Amino acid sequence: MSAASAGPAHLDDILYPPIEPYESGFLLVGDGQRMYWEQSGNPDGKPVVFLHGGPGAGTSPWQRRFFDPAVYRIVLFDQRGCGRSTPHLSDPAADLRFNTTWHLVADIELLRKNLGIDRWQVFGGSWGSALALAYAESHPAAVTEIVLRGIFTLRRHELEWFYEGGAAAIFPDLWEDYLAPIPVLERSRLIEAYHRRLTDPDPDVHRPAALAWTTWEASTLTLLPDPDLVATMAEPDAAVAFARIENHYFMHGGWFRDGQLIEDVAAIRGIPAVIVQGRYDVCTPIMTAWDLHRAWPEAEYVVVPDASHSATEPGIARALRAAADRFAAS
């Protein structure tokens, strides 16, 4: 296993050692989609499903390491259009019509049934926190516990904060690079302006837009700059798929009514849960985690005082491992 696949070196003292899957495959989920999945850890252990961010980021091997491999049956999968799932949305011909939150919720449930799992822990950060809430609120009987990080629910004001100009107050230099592909007359609706470019079949149009979109996000994920993270996310094919899927979801507000995930939390208030949030998260500001905490006081609420958004930040990683360890015996 390469150092990159094992994860950042500073996580070695925080997370479990690197492991390899004992099983992997592709699940045919319909609509011409093949979803990559894998299992690692203990085949007879406590099931947990990891929901990656983005949408469109895909999973990485180091994400297995939040979980005690002697205790957990660890399930990772790449959501539609990204990672090892096909068709990959770096292909301009790939169809976005069948890539929505509710397709993904159905995919998760199909995967659970195909793996013969009765109930499982749901563990997700950033977009994965939104997907975890959507899945758990739709299928609460299938969920044993919930662990969330960097809370994001795709409310309009959340999207406007990060993609329409609010966060420019903190990163004005990086914001200029995000604005660069968009003509001045289109800058009043940046998500829409990016949508036109990201869906253009011409690589000379969609690639620069994808790189600008993804670099903006990658550059603001951590409290201190992480050039390696930016370089990884800016790999051209991955950046195109990431930006195209994200923008597609944001154009549609995640197919949620505004505020839906927090308003519908009553369906899961009886499920043990931990909410982990970085105090200085610019991508998904703490206001959303606070709103979720107020609606769901039963969930443990952990604010990491010296962190932003990324699960690779030491304080966030420690809190997430602690949450998984807390539920390991339940």
For 33-97, give the DSSP string.
EEEEEEEEE-TTSEEEEEE-STTTT---GGGGGGS-TTTEEEEEEPPTTSTT-BS-TTSTTS--T
309 is catalytic: yes
Residues, the chain: 330
Catalytically annotated residue among 60, 85, 126, 308: 126
H or E element in which residue 147 lies: strand 143-149
Distances (CA, A) of 55 to 99, 119, 131, 171: 10, 24, 9, 23
Residue from 48, 40, 8 nearest 21 by CA = 40
Whether the CB-CB separation of 316 and 304 falls below 8 Å is answered with yes
The secondary structure of residue 265, as a DSSP letter, is G
- Catalytic: 24? no
Structure tokens at 146: 């919930």
Q: Give the type of residue at 277.
A: Q
Residue 281 annotated to the active site: yes
Selecting among 206, 291, 309, 310, the annotated active-site residue is: 309
Given 281, 291, 293, 308, which residue is catalytic?
281
Nearest-CA neighbor of 261 among 137, 107, 127, 126? Answer: 137
The DSSP code for 167 is G
Residues with a catalytic annotation lie at 126, 281, 309
